[in-house]
Structure 1
Amino acid sequence: MKLIMKNPGIGQAMLCLLLLPVIVSATKPKLTMKEGIQWTTGLSWTQVKEKAKKENKYIFLDVFATWCGPCKEMDKTVYVNDSVGNFINAAFIAVKVQTDQTKADNPEVQKWYDDAKEINKAYRVLSLPTFIFLSPDGKVVHKTIGYRTPQAFIAEAVAALKPGQAYVDPYIEFDELEADYKKGKKDYSKILYMMRSAKELGKEAFEKLLIQDYLQYLEKASDKKLYTKANMEFLNAVELKSDAKLFAIFYPDGKKADKAAGSPGFADRMVNRVVFREIISPFLKLSNVATPVYLNGVAAPTDKAEADWPGLYQKILQKYPKPYAERGLLNAKLAWYEQHYNYPNYYNTYLQKLDKYGIDTLSSIGLAIYSDINMNCWQLFERITDKALLAKAAKWMHEVIKRTPLDPSHIDTYANLLYKAGEKDKAMVWEEKALRLAEKYKYQTDIENFKEVLTKMRTGEKTWP
């Protein structure tokens, strides 16, 4: 099949680079002897576009930030690659666009502050790194995000050069709906999509307006329109108050909500959250600041103070039945002990809650339940020495791995709990299973960690901080 290119110069470069990568052609554009991509500097954004039009070359924008890990990885392993450099240098004017501002910025970066803001807004840069490819006349032809290997990155650039290639903005529909909404034309069947899009685009004020509008709409909606899974997911994401009309969906009878959500106990969880926000948090004067997580297992000094638990229990009972008071008390103790760094009491209470309510009735949804349990049990392993408590946590991790038998990190947590609880032989069997799974899935970091853990188990060393 004959390859037809609108731009003969680019076509020749493409054919040369794709088909004959190791042959040095007399017609190949002149390149200086630097490795990788040669970035264009010293020009403004307007001048870059003028240059591209004049030279009939495409533009490649690497939109990044100094704090962005994947961006740094692109600089370190991709942009310095000779194949990447040869391809981009032949067909594109390449420009780096820094989106953040730091004290270390050189004059060149500082001159681009305004241009970077314009590019960020005009091309809707929502995550980093973002790669934007423009035609010689300045139209976006391709846009993608995230780290790419050299081969994958070249494939993205090849896609940008395809004849007739055009980029379709995924938010075109949102733009039209937003314009209609502001004119008073409201399509409530699309409003959940509009909320998600507004959030993604950083339009916080408009998102809040849509949320309030939709809540008012749902208050008057028929049961058929109200009780849908999408609406239950929406209500799960907002903070309803007990005096709101829609709270009646969940209390005192939430059966319809459970059915719509496809989740038994969904309505109860919604009520429990309201109990926590409106009664527990003010009663205990809990801090809104998240308690620091000490990943190395080193705990802050323990504060053994206790709250007025009988008083709180009675306070909840004044408004809600006993089941809500009982669960509310456990939730309150978890929050209290966590904020007071009382880890023995925190984990005792956490395991009491699991014993009383089981795995599937925790506040998380889907697979997140198992990740939450794994995180709590791992931190218990790091912080607790009580063997009875460790054994109890191991029992619950065993329940988790029955449901997630192919997750090596969960098995590793279980094995470490067994080991610290004194069951060395059993622990080593499970740690070997975790290692085999990690090797199967080629989880290199896990492979290295699990091998180290096994070595320590065999020699009787501590596997915890």
Structure 2
Amino acid sequence: MKKLLLLLTAWLPLATMAQEQGIHFEHALSWKEVKAKAKKEGKFIFMDCFTTWCGPCKMMSREIFPLQVVGEFFNDKFVSVKVQMDKTPQDDEAVKSWYADAAAIAKEYSVMAYPTFLYFSPEGKLVHLVVGGDSATGFIAASAKALKPETQYYTRMETTVKQAGNQPDTLKRLAEEALEVYDGRYSVLFAGRYLKAVPDVFAPEVVRFMDKFTRSSKDPGFAIFRKNPEKINQVMGSHFAENRVQQIIMGEEIYKDMRGGIPPDVKAVTARLQKKYPDLAPMLVQRFQLSEYLRNKAYDQFEKNVQAYVKKYNKQLSPSELNGYARSIGRFGTDTAMLRTALAWSESASKENATPDAATVQAVLWYKLGDAAKAVSMQETAVNMLPAGEEYKYMRESYQKTLDKMKKGEKL
């Protein structure tokens, strides 16, 4: 025991030294205290906005932040703090104490992706932004720009806003540049100014722009999509506007807190939807319940309820949603009548929007119905429909793997 204690005593300074080599984060301080410390010491603030489910966030914490060269740079110039932006059942009291500030920071600074690194002046003013993981050298170089006004992203954007004018082409370019670096604040600002400057918001190029910049119910495009679905659908396809609106609503009212493993409060969700979107609430609640059946693997309940849902809202469903339900039946369904119903859904969706995904869903359903020849033919069609390009590499491999199994008569 004495020898073990000696070993532990010898190891502890080494562990402490390893921790001190990297960035020192102020885990025990509140946001107010972090700002006070930075102001007192005349240092900038480095804020790591991360989530528990974000792979690049974990990589940065594991491989970059602990490095001595990174620690030497940051500890000399910044007061550093890590802010967990999601909620999980495993959160300790320190994380919970930041819940309110984390939500306020995400809202005020329009955090769009993770990891997002925010940089504040010693006075607490946001001056710079970096998004995404990087090497130690790249990360230090990107962070060093936060220290000089001429290279600070937000300082430069403040000047750009004043000089932008009202030319649609200029505003569109600035909005797209801001979106490219995941700047939720100025991408929204320039997008809004662009939509006010164009002569016709329903022109095809403007509608496509609007779709790209409509991410929340507060974006101008949300109201336009909601009030003018017919005009939007003429450009984007059948039921596109309605589906886009529903996706945004469900993301904001239902799914935003579920990534951390916290089960949803169905009653609270229902009440929220009925209050904010009374015309859509019944449909969205049922749609949510269907997704919950799938998430909980209650497949018998899903089959029973999805038929009633599709029958009731058939004319309001987008091809992608209808095909999605057919895909789910293809994955776990065994009842012949249900499989044929799902096949009819996917075929109906294809009449409005023929896609490789719909073709492979139909192939799987034909295969499970015992028509291997028809299944192989449809899966070959799906493979041939995939566009060329590296971005479709893994999808092509997956489709081909399914096709090979069908040809061999193997279980999918």
Which of the five TM-score ranges fits, normalised by the shorter chain? 0.5 to 0.7
Q: Given the superposition, is the C-alpha separation of residues 52 and 380 from structure 1 closer, same or farther in structure 2, using an over 3 Å criterion?
A: same
Gaps of 5+ in 2: 1-15, 159-177, 179-184, 244-282
Distance 1:48 1:201 in 2: 30
Secondary structure of 2:79 counterpart: strand
The reply to whether residue 399 of structure 1 matches residue 381 of structure 2 is yes
**1:232 counterpart = 2:235:** yes
For residues 189 and 199 of structure 1, the distance between their equivalents in structure 2, rounded to whole angstroms, comes to 17
Find the counterpart in structure 2 of residue 384 from structure 1: 368
Assess, with a 3 A threshold, how the Cα gap between structure 1 residues 54 and 288 changes in structure 2: closer, same or farther: closer
Structure-2 change in CA distance of 1:64 and 1:343 (3 Å): farther
1:232 and 1:413, CA in 2 relative to 1: closer, same or farther beyond 3 A? closer
Aligned-pair identity in percent equals 26
Question: What CA distance in whole angstroms lies between the structure 2 residues aligned with 1:49 and 1:74?
Answer: 23
Contact 1:133–1:141 (8 Å) recurs in 2: yes
Say whether the 8 Å CA contact 1:62–1:97 is kept in structure 2: yes
Instruction: Indicate which of 125, 133, 139 corresponds to 1:153.
Output: 139
Alignment partners' CA distance in 1, 2:97 and 2:24: 19
Counterparts of 2:223 and 2:349 in 1: how far apart (Å)? 38
SS of residue matched to 2:25: coil
Deviations for 1:47-70, whole angstroms, at most 9, x for unmatched residues? 322332333322111112334444
Residue 23 of structure 2 aligns with which residue? 37
Partner of 1:52: 38
Determine if contact 1:59/1:94 at 8 Å carries over to the other structure. Answer: yes
Amino acid aligned to 2:235: M
Q: Report the alpha carbon displacement of residue 129 of structure 1 after superposing the two structures with TM.
A: 2.4
Superposed CA deviations along residues 303-351 of structure 1, whole A, max 9, x for unmatched, are 89xx99xxx9xxx9xxx9xxxxxx9xx99x9599779945645655666
- What displacement does 1:230 show? 8.7
From the superposition, tell whether residues 188 and 235 of structure 1 become closer, same or farther in structure 2 (CA, over 3 Å). farther
Structure 2 Cα separation of the partners of residues 351 and 344 of structure 1: 10
CA distance in 2, matches of 1:338, 1:137: 58
Maintained 8 Å contact 1:60/1:95: yes
Residue 113 (str. 1) matches residue 119 (str. 2) = no
Instruction: Tell me which protein shows more helix as a share of its residues.
Output: 2
Report 1:7-22 matches (<5 A).
Answer: none
Instruction: Give the Cα–Cα distance (whole angstroms) in 1 for the partners of residues 221 and 374 of structure 2.
Output: 44
**Which of 45, 64, 70 is matched with 1:84 structurally?**
70
Q: How does 1:319-358 map to 2 (within 5 A)?
A: 341-342=333-334, 344-345=336-337
Please state if 1:200 is matched with 2:215.
yes
Q: Deviations over 1:176-222 (max 9, x none)?
A: 8979x9xxx99774696896588435527x7654445x63xx99xxx
Task: Report 1:305-324 matches (<5 A).
Answer: none
Q: Which has the higher contact order (CA 8 A, sep 6+)?
A: 2
Letter in 2 for 1:38: H
Would the alpha carbon gap of residues 197 and 41 (structure 1) be closer, same or farther in structure 2, given more than 3 Å must change? same
Change (3 A) 1:235 1:301: closer
* Residues 337 and 343 in structure 1, CA contact (< 8 A), matched pair in contact too: no
Q: How many residue pairs are counted as aligned between the two chains?
A: 308
Instruction: Assess if the C-alpha contact under 8 Å between 2:30 and 2:98 holds in 1.
Output: yes
Q: Which runs of 5+ in 1 are unaligned?
A: 1-30, 220-225, 241-281, 321-326, 424-461
Cα deviation, residue 294, structure 1: 7.3
Deviation at 1:39, TM superposition (A): 0.5
For the pair shown, the structure with the greater C-alpha radius of gyration is 1
